[in-house]
């Protein structure tokens, strides 16, 4: 007798299942409406966006050919830049937003902030993202989670490719049900 899967006891009983259907509707996700940038902030936001564009020129992207630049504006007016650095292992790729924020942290951002009474959730005011092949400045989900470690109230900015206007959202608009990092930190520090 031939040994066939599903017809002998060594494979157990073969069970066939009919596909199920979920009837709960799936609404189309909509991006929130861009925030109108205050006139007083336009100049600094443009500087941050230009810094992200310049950083993009240094991207190391031999696998995707997709350059990304980012710039982080800190509470004390410093601008830190970063760009994507790809790795053939893919998961080791460094994203531009991570590089920019890591640069700020390496330069003592959190110590400077603490000395001024500013916590980690308010030390970074805005992050600009620029990808010349992209259609918008919104960070990937990995970067959104990384950025959230430093506050979901920060502005995420970039340029509208069609007309050059400033696009602006807050990180909490891009991540509406974020992991509650502030609560977690309070808990591990014994503050709750």
Tokens of 102: 């890591």
Q: Establish whether 97 is a catalytic residue.
A: yes
Spell out the domain ranges in the chain.
35-188
Given 42, 57, 86, 97, the catalytic residue: 97
Q: State the number of CA atoms in the 13 A half-sphere of 115 facing the CB.
A: 6
Give the pLDDT confidence score for residue 14 in this predicted structure: 62
Q: How far apart are CA 18 and CA 16, in angstroms?
A: 7
Q: Is 46 exposed, middle or buried (CB count within 10 Å of its CB: 0-12, 13-18, 19+)?
A: middle
Which residues are paired to 127 by β-bridges? 72, 156
Q: Is 161 exposed, middle or buried (CB count within 10 Å of its CB: 0-12, 13-18, 19+)?
A: middle
What is the dotted CATH code of the domain comprising 35-188? 3.40.140.10
**Tens-digit pLDDT string for the chain (192 aa):** 555 655 555 655 666 778 888 889 888 888 899 999 999 999 999 999 999 999 999 999 999 999 999 999 999 999 999 999 999 998 899 999 999 999 999 999 999 999 999 999 999 999 999 999 998 999 999 999 999 999 999 999 999 999 999 999 999 999 988 888 888 888 888 887
Give the pLDDT confidence score for residue 74 in this predicted structure: 98
């Amino acid at each position: 007798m031939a040994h066939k899967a599903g017809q002998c006891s060594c494979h157990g009983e073969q069970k066939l299942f009919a596909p199920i259907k979920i009837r709960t509707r799936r609404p189309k996700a909509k991006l929130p409406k861009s925030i109108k940038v205050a006139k007083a902030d336009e100049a600094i936001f443009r500087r941050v966006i230009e810094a992200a564009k310049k950083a993009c020129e240094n991207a190391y992207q031999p696998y995707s050919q997709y350059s990304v630049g980012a710039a982080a504006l800190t509470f004390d007016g410093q601008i830190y830049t970063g760009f994507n650095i790809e790795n053939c292992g893919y998961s080791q790729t460094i994203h531009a937003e991570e590089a920019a924020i890591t640069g700020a942290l390496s330069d003592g951002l959190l110590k400077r902030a603490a000395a001024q009474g500013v916590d980690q959730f308010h030390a970074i005011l805005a992050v600009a993202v620029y990808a010349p092949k992209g259609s918008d400045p919104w960070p990937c989900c990995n970067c959104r989670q990384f950025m959230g470690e430093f506050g979901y109230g920060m502005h995420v900015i970039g340029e509208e490719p069609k007309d050059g206007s400033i696009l602006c959202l807050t990180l909490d608009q891009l991540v509406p049900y974020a992991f509650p990092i502030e609560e977690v930190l309070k808990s591990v520090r014994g503050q709750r």
